[in-house]
Structure 1
Amino acid sequence: MILYSTDQVFLPLVCISIASMVEHCRGNRPPVTVLLHDVDETARKGASSFLEELGLQLDLVDVDGSWCQPWAKARGQSPAKFGFLRMHELLQRPVGRVVVVDADTRFMDDVNKLLAHPLDGCAVAAVNDMAVVAEGRVPDLCAKLGIPQSPGYFNSGLLVIDLEKWLHANTGQAAIDVFTQRSEILTFNDQCALNAVLAGNFRQLPIRWNALQGTHRADWPVSMHHFAGHFKPWKMGLCRRLPSVEKIMGAPNIDFYRAACRSARSHNLDPAGNQLLETISAGLLLGKMSVNGRLRQHTLRSSSSLLTSFASQHPHLME
């Protein structure tokens, strides 16, 4: 089972991510469930039309996000961000393993490899957050969460979950409890909550399965791009072709999303928004980041010596 949780804003991106997943499937296409939070009927029909063309076993599940609305709103987050924490109540077909995926992703490899990947008795497998590694933040984040620095701090943009073990350990509810009882330890929302709950008890996946834009080096293999952060290849307007921006996002990804957005618009789904407004907004963002040094820092992140050190210490994760 492949699982996404989304609101109306990110629904077009979910559809594009699923299409990229289907494109690279070499065996049976796994069933897909999309948890829908505050999605109107027009968008729902558009997504259904888009996804039905892919020949999937598909469940679109409407979710009432009021259960987490107070603390999600307090953190400036959509309830959709946390829907997967209660997935066992929402899935409409029996499954043993679930791959939870963020909307801002593009698959480049067969997701069936993840469904067959050994978890070595763990409830969760995930990829170390290489942006956190590159910026040298692992020690501070782990200390704040009260967890060991080894095997490290993972990114929650892709999670492989053994649902039986997840339920047995009450992992989802434990993460929710972190929000309601220990929110002061959180820096990155559900990602920090899960790191706190699992406390290092997760199976490390090769970093190719969560290649963070701006951090993942060009000579490293990629099985899934993850466009976390400010730079999104479907947005940025005309600024996406600036050399500094194109270097971070990659010209092939920009071209892919340009074509994918056209396809989505034919189903009344538009992830890109108004190009003029996007260009203005991106220009202001880039100006601010240039002044405060964040743009240069972001551009140079993939050359961090800390990434080189991580790669040399964990060669099995670089394959």
Structure 2
Amino acid sequence: MSNSIATAGQDKIVVVASSDDNYAIPMHVMFVSLLENAARPDRFEIFVIDGGISEKKKNNLQNDISARGGNVAFLQVDDGIYADFPTQKHISAPAYYRISIPELFNETVKRAIYLDCDLIIKADLEELWSQDLGPYAIAAVENIAGSTYLKSGLAQSDYFNSGVIIIDLVKWREQNIPEKVRTFKMEHPELISTNDQCAFNGVFRGEWARLPLHWNMQSGLYRNRRQVERLKQNGAYEKAVWTPSIIHYIGWSKPWVIPCFHPLEGEYRRYLEMSVYRHEPLEEVGTPVEYTAIKVFRKNVQKKRWQKKYRSKGINLYP
């Protein structure tokens, strides 16, 4: 299913992301944040599934990762596999490439962490790597959203976000998970409201290891929903919001564009300025057409209110 079979050292932490050229810089910054917060960066074997990244950006990534003691390799997926899969403006074909991860590695590689590009890592991923999956083939965090799960037919607490996952590659190969996910995606459009996240959930049907919420702090935690009230009951919410291990900038409002309404947008700039892209200007994209002036005003008020809460707790926000 691919034209590259990768290997990794026995004691290495295998981390995988996929990107086209448009998301290459955010992915680059994400990996800088990963290594800056790693006690032993040399343990990390980073793999990028290449969806058309320019040679210049690949060289920049190699330079920044090697300067921090890490290692990166680029993998290829046969584009034809996903040629008929639907895409959107902010979701291109490489968003599906994670489905193929077990097919890209030698059978000696038994576990991998997959990370989306729109993340900032604030903790050492050695701890995430050591999480026990028990009998499950995948570990993830519950998806924080009001309605994404509805089409799936699953309970909200059984529907995970696929932006941060630990993959048991042995079980995925044994159970032929990649082919099951691809088949589900194409045969059950009525159950799909996202790119491949609904397909993953349709295959696993609630059978996944639950990771603590702070390993995927999603933007939905800032909104007042019944789901958030449930999560507040066990203390998971407090740790995720105030001391997130991974910040996930879900939705169109990304920290590398203007405007951004995320209270922790500065964390992206913190690591951007540690990278070779420190002088790269943010992209001015404006707001979606459905965003009225009142809605933009409310978004800004909400952002500033949360930033004030962070500062009141002594949390240093990057300007």
- Relative to the length of structure 2, the TM-score reads 0.76
* Paired AA for residue 256 in structure 2: W
Indicate the residue corresponding to 1:60 in structure 2: 74
Q: Cα distance 1:263–1:41, how it changes in 2: closer, same or farther (>3 A)? A: closer
Tell me the CA shift for residue 173 of structure 1: 1.3
1:170 aligns with 2:176: yes
Identify the residue that residue 166 of structure 2 maps to in structure 1.
Answer: 160
In structure 1, which of residues 107, 112, 132 is the aligned counterpart of residue 121 of structure 2? 107
Partner deviation per Cα, 1:1-53 (whole Å, 9 max, x = no partner): 10001111111111111111111112453211111012232332232223222
Instruction: Measure how far apart 1:235 and its partner are.
Output: 1.3
Matches within 5 A, 1:14-163: 14-27=27-40, 29-73=43-87, 77-91=91-105, 94-130=108-144, 132=145, 135=146, 137=147, 141-142=149-150, 144-147=151-154, 149=155, 151-163=157-169
The equivalent of 1:7 in structure 2 is 20
Residues 1:254 and 1:50: Cα distance change in structure 2 (over 3 Å) = closer
Gaps of 5+ in 2: 1-13, 223-236, 306-319
| Offset, 1:257 | 5.0
One-letter identity of the residue aligned with 2:134: D
Distance 1:207 1:297, change over 3 A: same
How many angstroms apart in 2 are the aligned matches of 1:56 and 1:209?
21
Are residues 1:231 and 2:253 paired?
yes
SS in 1 for 2:44: coil
The answer to whether the 8 Å contact 1:37/1:64 transfers is: no
SS at match of 1:263: coil
Q: Distance in 2 between matches of 1:105 and 1:215?
A: 15
Q: Residue in 2 aligned with 1:307? A: none
Q: CA deviation at 1:251?
A: 5.6
Calculate percent identity across the aligned residue pairs: 23
Amino acid at match of 1:61: L
**In the aligned structure 2, how far is the partner of 1:43 from the partner of 1:252?**
23
Cα 1:178–1:299, aligned 2, differ >3 Å: closer, same or farther? farther
Partner of 2:214: 208
5+ residue gaps, structure 1, are 304-319
Q: Mean Cα displacement is larger for which, 103-112 or 92-101?
A: 92-101
Which region of structure 1 is more displaced relative to structure 2, 190-199 or 86-95?
86-95
The CA distance in 1 between the partners of 2:68 and 2:107, in whole Å, is: 19
Give the root-mean-square deviation of aligned CA atoms: 2.9
Change (3 A) 1:66 1:105: same
Give yes or no for contact 1:127–1:155 (8 Å, CA) kept in 2. Answer: yes
In structure 2, C-alpha distance between the alignment counterparts of 1:210 and 1:21, rounded to whole Å: 14
Residue 182 (str. 1) matches residue 205 (str. 2): no
C-alpha separation in 2, matches of 1:299 and 1:128: 27
Following TM superposition, by how much is the alpha carbon of 1:297 offset from its aligned partner in structure 2, in angstroms? 7.5
> Is 1:33–1:91's contact at 8 Å kept on the other side of the alignment?
no
Contact 2:65 2:71 in 1 (8 A): no
CA 126–294 in structure 1, closer or farther in 2 if over 3 Å, else same: farther
102-111 or 57-66: which moved more? 57-66
Displacement of 1:100 in angstroms is 0.4
Could you tell me how far apart the structure 1 residues matched to 2:221 and 2:137 are?
Answer: 27
Q: Residues 155 and 45 (structure 1 numbering): CA distance in 2 closer, same or farther, change over 3 Å? A: same
Report the secondary structure of 2:181's partner residue. helix
Work out the number of aligned pairs and report it: 274
Q: TM-score, normalised by structure 1?
A: 0.76
CA contact (8 A) 1:24 1:107 kept: yes
Distance 1:220 1:265, change over 3 A: closer
Higher RCO (C-alpha 8 Å, min separation 6) = 1
Structure-2 residue corresponding to 1:259: 273
* 1:256–1:206 Cα change, 3 Å: same
Change (3 A) 1:35 1:254: closer
Match of 1:221 in 2: 243
